[in-house]
Amino acid sequence: MGSQGGFYQSKEFLDLVKSIGEARSKAEEDRIVLNEIETLKRRISEPDIPKRKMKEYIIRLVYIEMLGHDASFGYIHAVKMTHDDSLLVKRTGYLAVTLFLNEDHDLIILIVNTIQKDLKSDNYLVVCAALNAVCKLINEETIPAVLPQVMELLAHPKEAVRKKAIMALHRFYQKSPSSVSHLVSNFRKRLCDNDPGVMGATLCPLFELIARDVNSYKDLVISFVSILKQVAERRLSKAYDYHQMPAPFIQIKLLKILALLGSGDKQASENMYTVVGDIFRKCDSSSNIGNAVLYECICCVSSIYPNPKLLESAADVISRFLKSDSHNLKYMGIDALGRLIKISPEIAEQHQLAVIDCLEDPDDTLKRKTFELLYKMTKSTNVEVIVDRMIDYMISINDNHYKTEIASRCVELAEQFAPSNQWFIQTMNRVFEHAGDLVNIKVAHNLMRLIAEGFGEDDDNADTKLRLAAVESYLRILGEPKLPSVFLQVICWVLGEYGTADGMFSASDITGKLCDVAEAYSNDETVKAYATTALMKIYAFEIAARRKVDMLPECQSLMEELLASHSTDLQQRAYELQAVIGLDAHAVACIMPSDASCEDIEVDRDLSFLNDYIQEAIEKGAQPYIPESERSGMLNISNFRNQDHHEASSHGLRFEAYELPKPAVQSRIPQTLIASTEIVPVPEPMYPRESYQTTMPSIPSDAGSAELKLRLEGVQKKWGRSTYTPATSTSNSTSQKTVNGTSQGDGASTVSSMRETYDSRKPQVEVSHEKQKLAASLFGGSSKTEKSPATGHKAAKASSHVVEKSHVPKSSLEVASEKATPAQQPPDLLDLGEPTATSTALQLDPFKQLEGLLDATEVASAVNGAPAASRSPDIMALYADTAAGIHNKNDADLLSGLSNPSVTNMPGTTAMPQVTQSSSKGPNPKDSLEKDALVRQMGVNPSSQNPNLFKDLLG
Amino acid sequence: MIKAVMVMNTQGKSRLAKFYEYLSVEKQQELIRGVFSVLCSRAENVSNFIDAESIFGLDSRLVYKHFATLYFVFVFDSSENELAVLDLIQVFVETLDKCFQNVCELDIVFNYSKIHTILDEMVFGGQVVETSSSEIMKAVEEISKLEAASNAISLIPKSASGWRSR
């Protein structure tokens, strides 16, 4: 039995393997293995086990662990075996520990010593076994213990040992670059090793080093090129040939390295052209490994500074790959094509049919690769076909990971290249319907924004049509069962905002649908919240239009349910709805203007509209507000008294949010209150406590407002970012009017011309195969029509965008705020609440007096803010910035996101306990609403004040 | 670098599993199951490559080859070339074949530690160090010889090999 070599096994083990092999079920297998574990546990702890027996036990343990059972009881025995003198036993011990243990295992400490000793052994096999263990088991802390020995081994007479020592050093570099950074020059030295095997092994660490820092290795370009040349010319011994290829694995590694070194470096690339060209010519394309080398050549050619001749050879090889019957080669061909079209886009066209074939191939891997390629070559001319295909494919697969990826790609392409709003909305609907829970929430916000804003055309009619189309499609889609939450949110918002806008649908239709949604998805609070607010909007619009409002019975019962909801957010919305319904038409029109989601809401962070009021109060002898930071002593008292966890958590939250702007607080205090800065902090024990107790519970606090902020970043930029041009941004509004006129024309004509070309292609296409049709729509357009219409279209879009942005500066708000925040010290919550609070502190009963005002502000801002927030989520971020104490963590919960900040803005300083209560039970909302309307007017400053906004937005 | 090497049979029983980054036993099993479920859903005559990102995380590719009752699976990142890894599997199998004369699933099961030795000669710490099957054979034979020599004192009963050769 020559094949047995030195690897003997006993009958017991063979029987075990056999019985496991014959096990019919997983349960049976488990039973056998558990039996085996019992046996081994018993046997392994017996005294005086012969080494040979012990070795076999350990192998059995390894085997058991491979089958997924815990063998940790035997780890210590494996460790013990590494100490043994016998090579066989020692090697088995090392094998077992490398499989059992990780570098942070407690037992490692027992092995390090042995490893140190073994690295110095005379027997090179012992050394190799130890090096193997070094790779797996040495961590950052233990590297210094073995590093000197490993360094010595780099000069070991046996090439196998040198090779492994290099790998061990490479491993150290991967684990902790700093600990071996002074030794990386050794890799360069080993490149000149006599043994080609060692040289080849050295390429692995060098590849990684070069990938991290190309510039320090530019000097090696010549060496690598000459090595590659020698290898390709068969200067190495025959032993390195593989399937008649000279050392192909070394060639591949070298080509990879050259690709890195030549990337964007003309001079370095020029050195490589000859040798790469030679390989292209010499390479045997009939063997697998030959093709591997060829593929690597293409990668190299597409990475280094382009050379027309090499690109030509690369294109030839690609077409050979794509024409091949082998799926592997097709796959490589598609991948290579994806690399090469970045440099020479025109080559895609000649392979269009091959690409279509791959797209329809049953092989999933190939299909995915092809979609990746299509994604790379999408343009405005072929976006419809590609995205359509992608969505079809997305629907057909179950793999959530890939579904998510492809959904986000669809969204990205649709946003970038959408030919029309209609198409965009339809596409988004499909994506949401089939992968709604997998796409990023900001995609939903984008869609809502688009529906609210339109594409920026001035034509209100088109916008209305768009909205109507959206509403219609949503009413239809609502019939489908089990829609994703995110999609439902969009639907509810759009229905609330535009459901009744053009009289196609009656309020009772829409409210009925909304109630159905709230009922059908009753365990999704976010959807319910959206539905409630949508209901409120519908009713408000009805009231404002002076129509009689009849609440549907199901709506009434829904409201009753929500008024008693456990969710404070839902409760608040229900109360707000109730309050709004009780108001007269004028007040409702003020707080809930129709189609105002795009209106600008400027936040008056200093609450300057209260200055007069405060001044008055102070003149009457009221005490000014004392900022929280100067009240620390008192806070401690309150802390002490309210040691329930509510209190603690609210503190925790606030503390984090405030931390940054703290220094600014002090410097800014006096501004409005110079007259009374010298006030001594007067403890007012009653208010901090109360405020916590009253404000906190009413504010929903899931975790995640921070998350929300993050995710929403950059939403604005997405839209047609490439189309904005700084030049147009400077033009003033009158000239823009004219620009606008012309651009309208341009846009229309380009679109129609595109259509024409698109259509004119069709007949000729239909003559032949359906595939060719697809190919034409994918590729054909790219070369023929693409140039002028595409750019024209873009330009048109750009200018119309500019116009839109300039006279409807709404979205600039967020940019402004983003910009403004860092520029002027971010005012924090203390700052905001300060004036109000100061005044209240003075009054005999300040809350009573302010109640109405605050209530109004709050209701109104909640109501008005809501649509804006859901539309342009960045505003949320702004709120979150300023109202640092934002307690609303419910991340999808935009409405309360806005209403709460305004709540927290004022009472957030812990000065205004009644506010939240009054939000639902405010005594005289009507007066206060009117006051608020005034406040809003004052607060809303035209953003044209700040010309930089445009630059920011457009640049 | 190479992340993992697996050999499993067509029933999904794992015959060899080596991970070059440490993973807990449970995680290893999960990955093996994940790989198997993908493998058995693959048709014949399709490519040998699978996008393994959903199983192994970002930047992972998987190349497999089907021999008789066994799947040989290599998982690796973008620093390797798919076709080359396919040939690496070929080298591995060729070496096994030389070692066991017409290798079959049973050889792999019964010579568990030897398979590891062979693999260790090819892939070391996640990097490919040797790609010539004759070189690997030489090294492995030398190891066997020396191990046998060091172990000569304790004689091995031949019963096991007798059983195997039936």
pLDDT at A786: 39
Q: Which residue has the higher pLDDT, A595 or A852?
A: A595
**Rounded mean pLDDT, A228-244:** 87
Return mean pLDDT, chain A: 72
- Least confidently predicted of A130-134, A216-220, A452-456, B78-82: A452-456
CB < 8 Å to A402, chain B: 51, 53-54
A645 against A340, higher pLDDT: A340
How far away is chain B from the Cα of A139, in angstroms, using its nearest Cα?
12
A78, pLDDT greater than 70: yes
B45 part of a folded domain:
yes
Q: Examine the pLDDT at A195 and tell me if it is beyond 70.
A: yes
Confidence of residue A929 (pLDDT cuts 50, 70, 90): low
Position B22 scores a pLDDT of 86
* pLDDT for residue A211: 92
pLDDT(A656) > 80: no
Q: Tell me whether residue B166 is in a domain.
A: no
B160 assigned to some structural domain: no
The reply to whether B162 falls in a domain is no
Q: Per DSSP, what are the bridge partners of residue B6?
A: B17, B73
In a domain, B20, yes or no: yes
* Interface predicted TM-score of the whole assembly (ipTM), two decimals: 0.88
Within-domain flag for B123: yes
Which chain A residue lies closest to B117 (C-alpha atoms)?
Answer: A95
Nearest by Cα to A112 from A91, A86, A87, A143: A143
User: What are the helix (H) ranges across A83-158?
Assistant: 87-100, 108-119, 124-137, 143-153
Counting the structural domains of chain B, the total is: 1
Query: Dihedral of the CA atoms A99, A102, A106, A112 (nearest 10)?
Result: 80
Q: Judge: A328–B83 Cβ closer than 8 Å, yes or no.
A: yes
Nearest CB partner across the interface for B135, out of A99, A239, A399: A239
Record: contact B151-A249, CB cut-off 8 A: no
Residue of B nearest to A366 (CA): B47
Radius of gyration from C-alpha coordinates of chain A: 36
pLDDT above 80: residue A61 = yes
- How buried is A325 (Cβ within 10 angstroms: 0-12 exposed, 13-18 middle, 19+ buried)? exposed
**pLDDT, tens digit (0-9, with 9 covering 90-100), for A322-352:** 999 899 999 999 999 999 988 888 888 888 8
pLDDT for residue A800: 42
Q: Look at residue A768 in the predicted model and tell me its pLDDT.
A: 55
Name which residue leads in pLDDT, A63 or A913.
Answer: A63
For the cut 80, the answer to whether the pLDDT of residue B76 exceeds it is yes
Model confidence at A666, pLDDT cuts 50, 70, 90, reads: very low
* B37 in a structural domain: yes
Confidence check: pLDDT of A738 > 70: no
DSSP conformation class of A680: P
The pLDDT score that the predictor gives to residue A50 is: 85
Interface contact flag, A242 B132, Cβ < 8 Å: yes
**Region A648-665 average pLDDT:** 48
* A–B interface: beta-carbon pairs under 8 A: 214
What is the number of alpha carbons within 13 Å of residue B48 lying toward its C-beta?
A: 24
**Nearest residue of B to residue A50, measured between CA atoms:** B154
- Contact across the interface for A291 and B18, Cβ inside 8 Å: no
Would you state the pLDDT for residue A588?
81
Instruction: Please name the member of A9, A62, A362 whose beta carbon is closest to the beta carbon of B46.
Output: A362
pLDDT tens track for A409-428 = 888 888 888 888 788 888 88
Mean per-residue pLDDT for A462-483? 83
SS3 assignment for chain B: CEEEEEEEECCCCEEEEEECCCCCHHHHHHHHHHHHHHHHCCCCCCCCEEECHHHHCCCCEEEEEEECCEEEEEEECCCCCHHHHHHHHHHHHHHHHHHHCCCCHHHHHHCHHHHHHHHHHHEECCEECCCCHHHHHHHHHHHHHHHHHHCCCCCCCCHHHHHHCC
Region A242-254: mean pLDDT is 90
- Look at residue A737 in the predicted model and tell me its pLDDT: 41
pLDDT score for A659: 52
Element (H, E) at A787: helix A787-807
Quote the pLDDT of residue A762: 42
Is B50 in Cβ contact with A365 (below 8 Å)?
yes
Q: What is the pLDDT of residues B13-69, one digit of tens each?
A: 888 999 998 888 889 999 999 999 989 888 888 889 988 888 888 889 999 999 988
Residue range A84-110: average pLDDT?
89
Mean pLDDT of the region A941-948: 43
pLDDT at A68: 87
> What confidence score (pLDDT) does residue A277 get?
94
Whether residue B143 is contained in a domain is answered as yes
Please write the tens of the pLDDT for every residue from A846-902: 455 544 444 444 444 444 444 444 444 444 444 444 444 444 444 444 444 444 444
Contacts of A289 in chain B (CB under 8 A): 83-84, 87
Is the pLDDT reported for residue A200 higher than 60? Answer: yes
Query: Which of A81-90, A883-892, B70-79 shows the lowest per-residue confidence on average (mean pLDDT)?
Result: A883-892
Q: For the domain that residue B46 is a member of, what is the CATH number? A: 3.30.450.60
Q: Choose among A92, A252, A399: nearest Cβ to B113.
A: A92
CB within 8 Å of A787: residues ≥ 6 apart: none
Q: Out of A198-207, A264-273, A405-414, which region has the weakest mean confidence (pLDDT)?
A: A405-414
The more confident residue out of A268 and A502 is: A268
Cβ atoms within 10 Å, residue A207: 20
* pLDDT for A257: 95
Residue count of chain A: 955
pLDDT of amino acid A632: 61
Residue B33's domain comprises 2-154
Q: Which one, of A806, A781, A776, A805, lies nearest residue A793 by Cα?
A: A781
* SS3 category, A47: coil
Predicted local distance difference test score (pLDDT) of residue A458: 59
pLDDT band at A907 (very low <50, low <70, confident <90, very high): very low
pLDDT of residue A734: 39
pLDDT at position A439 is 79
| 8 Å CB contact of B46 and A327 | yes
**Nearest CA-CA partner of A211 in A147, A176, A256:** A256
Six-digit token string for A411: 């969204």
Q: Which residue of A has its CA nearest to B129?
A: A201
Distance from CA of B123 to the nearest CA of A (A): 10
Question: Is residue A675 over pLDDT 70?
Answer: no
Q: What pLDDT band is residue A927 in, cutting at 50, 70 and 90?
A: low
Give the gap in angstroms from C-alpha A69 to the nearest C-alpha of chain B.
Answer: 7
Q: With an 8 Å Cβ cutoff, are B124 and A292 in contact?
A: no
Candidate from A217-226, A235-244, A928-937 with smallest mean pLDDT:
A928-937
Radius of gyration in angstroms for the set of CA atoms belonging to chain B, rounded to a whole number:
17
Tell me how long chain B is.
166
DSSP A549: P
Work out the pLDDT band at A612, boundaries 50, 70, 90.
confident
Contact B160 A9 (CB under 8 A): yes
* Most A-contacting residue of B37, B147, B164 (CB-CB within 10 A), to test interface: B147
Minimum distance, in Å, between the CA of residue B118 and any CA atom of chain A: 12
Question: Which two structure tokens, joined as six digits, stand for A655?
Answer: 């503390």
How confident is the model at residue A471, as a pLDDT?
Answer: 86
pLDDT for A748-785, tens place per residue?
444 444 444 444 444 444 445 677 777 777 766 444 43
Contact B125 A1 (CB under 8 A): no
Do residues A744 and A458 touch, judged by C-beta distance below 8 A? Answer: yes
Is the model more confident about A19 or about B63?
B63
